[in-house]
Amino acid sequence: MTLYFDLSQTLPDAGPAPVGHDVGFCQQCEVRTSAICAVLAKDERAALNRLGRRVTICAGQTVMWEGDDATIVANVIQGTLKLSASTGDGREQIVGVVYPSDFIGRPFGRSTPHRVTALTDARLCLFTRGAFDGFARANPDLGHRLLQRTLDDLDRARTWMLLLGRKNAREKIATFLLDMSRRLATDGREPLDSFELPLSRQQVADVLGLTIETVSRQLTDMKRAGIIALPNRRTVDLLDRDRLVWCAEAA
């Protein structure tokens, strides 16, 4: 099997090389119940496993470039990544943030529309697009699960368009914090009242269509107002969720 992925990019200290074709892989996979593979029967999963390969990547590494031939797709097993688009002169917009069990890449298409970059060290379950496409066509359940996920992504993207087009800086920051508190709640389903941002200030700005200075100022204002606390650069405590919700809609 040819791997369309530059393994020189993987973590040097990633431990032993991925075992690759070991069928046991999926049985212990952290995201086996939540990724799209969850719908597969045991033997189907084994077949898919034979097509895939686990890779570990470092924070900051780009996995796919926009405009690339779409040669790979992947499930996120661990870590956080961003999808981004940019203008010719370098302005950047983050168009999506993906978490464990999310799916990345553009199946059934010629080229990858957006850049995919790791925000933290991450582990992916990687497939060549051709192999994945074939498997998905042959397994309607998998295709259906992918459809549901894509529909959800589309809803989320469109909801974010309202934020980008019509909300002011205060509302953007408040909405963003509430969204993070929900998205980062992996297990308990309860939105978190304290969490660690996987994003730098600049990246928050790139998600919200703002500048880093505006993000910083808004966060400071909210801190002064007692709505949030910022114990360190990456941690956010939501002290007054009600007021934050109010900020998010009617700043």
Partner DNA sequence: CGGTGAGTTGAAAGCAATCAAATGGCGTGG
Partner DNA sequence: CCACGCCATTTGATTGCTTTCAACTCACCG
Residues in the site for DNA, rule: CB under 7 A? 168-170, 200-202, 209-217, 219-220, 230, 232-234
Q: Which of 11, 164, 212, 239 binds a copy of itself (CB under 8 A)?
A: 164
Residues 6+ apart with CB under 8 A from 62: 115, 116, 117, 118
Q: Which of 42, 137, 182, 234 binds a copy of itself (CB under 8 A)?
A: 137
What whole-number distance in Å separates Cα of residue 245 and Cα of residue 175? 8
- Find the radius of gyration of the CA atoms of the chain: 19
Q: How many residues in the shown chain lie near a copy of itself by CB under 8 A?
A: 43
CB of 7 to a copy of itself, least distance (A): 28
Query: Please, are residues 172 and 209 in contact by the beta-carbon 8 Å criterion?
Result: yes
Closer to DNA by Cβ: residue 89 or 242? 89
* Dihedrals phi, psi of 234, to nearest 5 degrees: -105, -15
Binding to a copy of itself, residues 191-250 (CB under 8 A): 208-209, 249-250
Cα distances (Å, whole numbers) of residue 54 to 25, 76, 141: 9, 10, 23
The footprint of a copy of itself on residues 93-122 (CB under 8 A) is 93, 95-96, 106-109, 113-114
Residue 11 touches which of a copy of itself, DNA, none (CB < 5 to 8 A by kind)? none
Q: Given the rule CB under 8 A, which of 24-32, 53-61, 143-151, 180-188 is the region that contacts a copy of itself?
A: 143-151
* Binding span for a copy of itself by CB under 8 A among 19-27, 31-39, 120-128, 148-156: 148-156
Nearer of residues 115 and 123 to a copy of itself, judged by Cβ: 115
- Residue 159 interacting with a copy of itself (CB under 8 A): yes
In Å, how far are 103, 169, 183, 236, 240 from 190, measured between CA atoms?
23, 26, 10, 16, 16
Q: Measured from the CB of residue 225, what is the shortest distance to a copy of itself in angstroms? A: 20
Question: Contact 153/214 with Cβ under 8 angstroms?
Answer: no
Q: Which is nearer to DNA, 62 or 214 (CB)?
A: 214
Task: Tell whether residue 140 is a contact of a copy of itself (CB under 8 A).
Answer: yes
**Contacting residues for 44 by C-beta, under 8 A, at least 6 apart:** 139, 142
Specify the residue for token string 């697009």: 129
Q: Output the smallest distance, CB 11 to DNA, in A.
A: 18
User: Which listed range, 27-35, 83-91, 124-132, 229-237, lies at the site for a copy of itself (CB under 8 A)?
Assistant: 83-91
